[in-house]
Each structure stands twice: as structure tokens, then as C-alpha cells.
Amino acid sequence: MAARAGIDERYSDAITGHSPATIGRAYTKPLPEDLAEAVKKFPMYKVD
């Protein structure tokens, strides 16, 4: 769903709590502001 919404894999991993795909990515964590913008890209669903 994240890929379909255009969310970068680094942000998707951070949001879902997955480990980074590479060792190098472990050294550069996404900023909270960037994660907040990524979350906004997820589709919204009405829940009754």
C-alpha cells in the first residue's frame, strides 16, 4: 500500500517498524517531519 501511495521505502520501513533494507540506511533515519508528510500520503478509509 505504501509503494502504491508513492511513499519511499525508507519512510515506509520507519513507519511500520521494519528494519532498514541496508546497513547504510540505518545511519540516516528519516526526520519526524518527513515521516508526518509520508503518513499523509496513505489513503483514508471511512470506518463506521
pTM of the model: 0.71
**pLDDT attached to residue 47:** 93
Express each pLDDT in 6-36 by its tens digit.
Answer: 999 999 999 999 988 888 888 888 999 999 9
Closest CA to 37 of 17, 21, 20, 14: 14
Q: Is the dihedral of CA 3, 29, 35, 13 positive or negative?
A: positive
pLDDT (0 to 100) of residue 33: 97
Domain boundaries along the sequence of the chain: 1-48
Which residues have CB under 8 Å from 30's CB, separation 6+?
Answer: 10, 11, 14, 38
